[in-house]
Amino acid sequence: MYPSSRGVDVCIEGTEHHPECPHGPTLLFTRYYESKPLRQFYACSAYRDRKSDGCSFFQWADEPTRPEKEALRRQINALHRPRRTHAENEERLENLSAEEGNAVRYCHQCETLLPKKERKEHAEHEDRVQMISKNRLRYPSQILTPRDDDKSYAQYLFNEESVEFFLSMLIELEFSHVLCIGCPTVHEAVVASESPLQSFLLDLDYRYTQFWPQLSFQEFNLFNCHFFDGAKGEANFKRFLKSAKGGKIAFFLDPPFGGLSEAISSTLAKLKSMARPKALHSELFWVFPYFLEKQLLDACPSLHMLDYKIGYSNYPKSRNSKRGSHVRLFTSVNAEKVVLPASEGYRFCTRCKRYSSQENKHCTKCKACPSKDGRTYVHCNLCTTCVKPDWIHCPSCLKCMPVSHTCEAEEGGPVKVGCHVCGDVSHKRRDCPRIGVLFKRKQRKRKRGKEQPASGKRRNEPSVVNV
């Protein structure tokens, strides 16, 4: 696809001057090449595969867009909006609920609830029309067919035990409000519970506008903080934040793992800043795989990983490791306070002052319960740290390594790849001192171009960034 590409980084900065796709302002990315200078481009923030039929938006940052193309884009964006607004769907739901009988119909072909008067129009989809009891309308995630494409929605739902644990944890930690971002099942559980906890759901999936009123759900893109209902959607969300005044709010999110932690972290900061009055007592709960711990903590240093293994109901079995789920809960709450369920084998480690899983044995030498991946680690005296149980201490590499590794010192062994910007092996491209200078130069140019119309604002930039 990109034969010489060495990867892509997202550039977190204001997206307000970026061109827009149907999913709001695009993100600016930098692509690194092996044999040519890096280059920046704009692409959709919600659909991470341009080749799929989700969103194919692409624009080199250094190439001006013709006004005709921009006009066409605006038309496409407008056409992309769904047939019915959230307000219309809310009214339909009220009417449906008032219809006689305990059940309503849902057409899976058209992904829509059917009022009596519209049933005939769906006669041809009869085998895809399902009867749903009115009580179940409060559990839309159980009705909708999950969109489980990893490059966009990645709709993997928590299993019952995990939802139950989250609900009791939030109640025990005395939260008054929870903002569920991409967590429809947690929202459903809170709404159905008898606790005074208030919940609001933000999610990219428009289908939820048929089930939740505007005061408790907004169609939203987490990667660029875009409310699809514009100022109205934002106002409804702000109302919820305002109601948390004097209480304690949990921001609870389970984003697609392919999602960009820095972009999400920037959105969280924006959402928090919408609170009036400003002082909001909030904590963060972020569901992510343990092997992306570093990436996540770099983007969000207030978090730490708990040992709790999160269960999913529709996660493909082939992807679950032998050691069980690889997904963990990261939080800003003091780990000592988050009681993990003893019924699932978790215990309180008095020395670490946190709950650890059964297999995560405390190591007195490391002074920690060191396991991350759900196995019991073993202490290596030579490395003076605990390592994965199937690693061996390699006399050639002078450290513990997987049994089937290629020694670093061996001829033909892995060559240390230097920074993709300047080639220095002591740092990665993210930490390159030169890239800051480079981007500042680009930003200055972009700022200078801000007064120009969108099509001209990048005209002054060189077509390729030379490093």
Ligand X SMILES: C[S@@+](CC[C@H](N)C(=O)[O-])C[C@H]1O[C@@H](n2cnc3c(N)ncnc32)[C@H](O)[C@@H]1O
Cβ closest to ligand X, residue 324 vs residue 418: 324
CA quadruple 417, 422, 426, 428: dihedral sign:
negative
Buried b (16+ CB within 10 A) or exposed e, 223-258: bbbbbbbeeebbebbeebbeebeebbbbbbbbbbbe
The span from the CA of 105 to the CA of 40, in Å, is: 48
Contact partner, 4, from Zn ion, ligand X, none, Cβ < 5-8 Å per class: none
User: Considering only CA atoms, which of 297, 272, 270 is closest in space to residue 286?
Assistant: 297
Which of the ranges 250-258, 265-273, 295-303, 341-349 carries the binding residues for Zn ion, by CB under 5 A? 341-349
Which of the ranges 63-71, 249-257, 258-266, 369-377 carries the binding residues for Zn ion, by CB under 5 A? 369-377
- Is residue 96 at the binding interface for Zn ion, with CB under 5 A as the rule? no
- Is residue 203 at the binding interface for ligand X, with CB under 6 A as the rule? yes
Buried b (16+ CB within 10 A) or exposed e, 308-335: bbbbbbebeeeeeeeeebbbbbbbbbeb
Cβ closest to ligand X, residue 183 vs residue 400: 183
Provide the mask over 335-364, with x wherever binding to ligand X is found by CB under 6 A and - wherever it is not: ------------------------------
Cβ closest to ligand X, residue 23 vs residue 420: 23
Q: Which of 17, 31, 122, 272 binds Zn ion (CB under 5 A)?
A: 122
Q: Identify the bridge partners of residue 287 per DSSP, sorted by sequence position.
A: 329
The span from the CA of 393 to the CA of 375, in Å, is: 18
User: Smallest distance, Å, CB 393 to Zn ion?
Assistant: 4
User: Smallest distance, Å, CB 353 to Zn ion?
Assistant: 8
- Is residue 155 at the binding interface for ligand X, with CB under 6 A as the rule? yes
- Is residue 116 at the binding interface for Zn ion, with CB under 5 A as the rule? no
CA 352 to chain centre: 29
CB-based closest residue to ligand X: 182
By CB under 6 A, the residues from 3 to 62 that bind ligand X are 46
User: Considering only CA atoms, which of 110, 195, 193 is closest in space to residue 144?
Assistant: 110
- Is residue 167 at the binding interface for ligand X, with CB under 6 A as the rule? no
- Is residue 256 at the binding interface for ligand X, with CB under 6 A as the rule? yes
Q: Which of 254, 283, 307, 461 binds ligand X (CB under 6 A)?
A: 254
Cβ closest to ligand X, residue 184 vs residue 233: 184
Q: 60 is written with which tokens?
A: 């080199």
Provide the mask over 28-67, with x wherever binding to Zn ion is found by CB under 5 A and - wherever it is not: ----------------x----------x------------
Which of the ranges 183-191, 278-286, 335-343, 389-397 carries the binding residues for ligand X, by CB under 6 A? 183-191
User: Smallest distance, Å, CB 334 to Zn ion?
Assistant: 15
The span from the CA of 99 to the CA of 319, in Å, is: 43
Which of the ranges 177-185, 332-340, 383-391, 430-438 carries the binding residues for ligand X, by CB under 6 A? 177-185
- Is residue 261 at the binding interface for ligand X, with CB under 6 A as the rule? no
- Is residue 156 at the binding interface for ligand X, with CB under 6 A as the rule? yes
User: Considering only CA atoms, which of 181, 186, 185 is closest in space to residue 167?
Assistant: 186
- Interface residues with ligand X (CB under 6 A)? 46, 153-158, 182-186, 203-205, 220-223, 254-256
